[in-house]
């Protein structure tokens, strides 16, 4: 099962990815998590990516495409994968298709911009795993601590409101055209395209995604 999650920053891709990967036993490939791991490790890629990410802009297509190709070639992707945050430009989608990386399902999660801005202030993440929480809508069992490791949760540097608004503008300009792109792909192939109202509760969205995938 090869799935792609498409949606604005804060739409709930990472939240639903956690659930889908556990349910279907496929690895989550989050380009955002991969970049944040590189930033934390201080690799040359991380140093290059940090400034761009903190400013809410997109890292170069070439760099991202290289990362994903390498990741998809690993053994744990034999039975499928869940793409979270990639592709997010038309050139990335084209490069993916040209590299023979195929999809079975595209899942769009749609949330109005103003709901997203309100949500992002309450997001907390576990830097080690990428697990995502929200102080009100999806709280951890113990405040400020990851449910699995007990380690401290953090606020992402790009969740400041002006940066969130910038990321939303870039989403509308560079990523939203993928809605039309994959609607066309679905009309001409076995790929399915389903759109979900991501302003419902986390559980309602998960339930509807499972129904669509089964
Ligand atoms: P990335 O990490 O991919 O960020 P993003 O796409 O901006 O998305 P987010 O992770 O912010 O949101 P999400 O949809 O995962 O929402 P979440 O589940 O956390 O990318 C970061 C940066 O890396 C980019 O800006 C760019 O610089 C770079 N990058 C990454 N990929 C790239 C690429 N392919 N090309 C170029 N550059 C790239 O949920 C958000 C909050 O809402 C959480 O607190 C959550 O608990 C809560 N929540 C979730 N669902 C619900 C719900 N239904 N109701 C209420 N609250 C909810
Ligand atoms: Zn995410």
Cβ of 9 below 6 Å from ligand 1: yes
From edge to edge, which strands make up the β-sheet containing 28-30?
28-30, 81-84, 2-7, 105-110, 192-197
Beta-carbon contacts of 207 under 8 Å, excluding residues fewer than 6 positions away, are: none
| Catalytic (active site) residue 167 | yes
Cα 204 to Cα 136, 143, 147, distances in angstroms: 16, 24, 21
Cβ of 175 below 6 Å from ligand 1: no
Residuewise pLDDT in 10s, the chain (214 residues): 999 999 999 999 999 999 999 999 999 999 999 999 999 999 999 998 999 999 999 999 999 999 999 999 999 999 999 999 999 999 999 999 999 999 999 999 999 999 999 999 999 999 999 999 999 999 999 999 999 999 999 999 899 999 999 999 999 999 999 999 999 999 999 999 999 999 999 999 999 999 999 8
Residue from 2, 88, 119, 131 carrying the catalytic annotation: 88
The answer on whether 25 is annotated among ligand-binding residues is no
**Res 214: pLDDT:** 86
Cβ of 171 below 6 Å from ligand 1: no
Q: Among the atoms of ligand 1, which is closest to the Cα of residue 84?
A: 3
Q: pLDDT by residue (tens digit) across 40-88?
A: 999 999 998 999 999 999 999 999 999 999 999 999 999 999 999 999 9
The answer on whether 14 is annotated among ligand-binding residues is yes
* SS percent in the chain: helix, strand, coil, step 5: 50, 15, 35
**Res 145: pLDDT:** 97
ipTM field: 0.97
Compute, in angstroms, the gap from residue 195 CA to the centroid of ligand 1: 17
Task: Give the C-alpha separation, 137 to 134, whole Å.
Answer: 5
| Catalytic (active site) residue 124 | no
Cβ of 130 below 6 Å from ligand 1: no
Task: Give the C-alpha separation, 81 to 83, whole Å.
Answer: 6
**Res 179: pLDDT:** 98
pTM of the model: 0.95
Residue of 5, 12, 167 with the most ligand 1 atoms within 8 Å of its CB, for mutation: 12
Task: Give the C-alpha separation, 81 to 9, whole Å.
Answer: 20
Cβ of 31 below 6 Å from ligand 1: yes
Residue from 2, 119, 123, 131 carrying the catalytic annotation: 123
């Amino acid at each position: 099962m090869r799935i792609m999650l498409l949606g604005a920053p804060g739409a709930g891709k990472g939240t639903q990815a956690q659930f889908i990967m556990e349910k279907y036993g496929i690895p989550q490939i989050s380009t955002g998590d991969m970049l944040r791991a590189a930033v934390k490790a201080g690799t040359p890629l991380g140093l290059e990516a940090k400034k761009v990410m903190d400013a809410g802009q997109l890292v170069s297509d070439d760099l991202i495409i290289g990362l994903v190709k390498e990741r998809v070639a690993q053994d744990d992707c034999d039975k499928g994968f869940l793409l979270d945050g990639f592709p997010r430009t038309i050139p990335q989608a084209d490069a993916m298709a040209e590299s023979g990386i195929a999809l079975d399902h595209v899942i769009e999660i749609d949330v109005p911009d103003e709901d997203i801005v309100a949500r992002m202030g309450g997001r907390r993440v576990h830097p080690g795993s990428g697990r995502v929480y929200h102080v009100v809508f999806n709280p951890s069992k113990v405040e400020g601590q990851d449910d699995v490791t007990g380690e401290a949760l953090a606020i992402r540097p790009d969740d400041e409101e002006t940066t969130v608004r910038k990321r939303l503008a870039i989403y509308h300009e560079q990523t939203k055209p993928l809605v039309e792109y994959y609607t066309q792909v679905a009309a001409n192939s076995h790929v399915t395209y389903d759109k979900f109202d991501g302003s419902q509760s986390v559980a309602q969205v998960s339930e509807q995604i499972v129904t669509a995938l089964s």
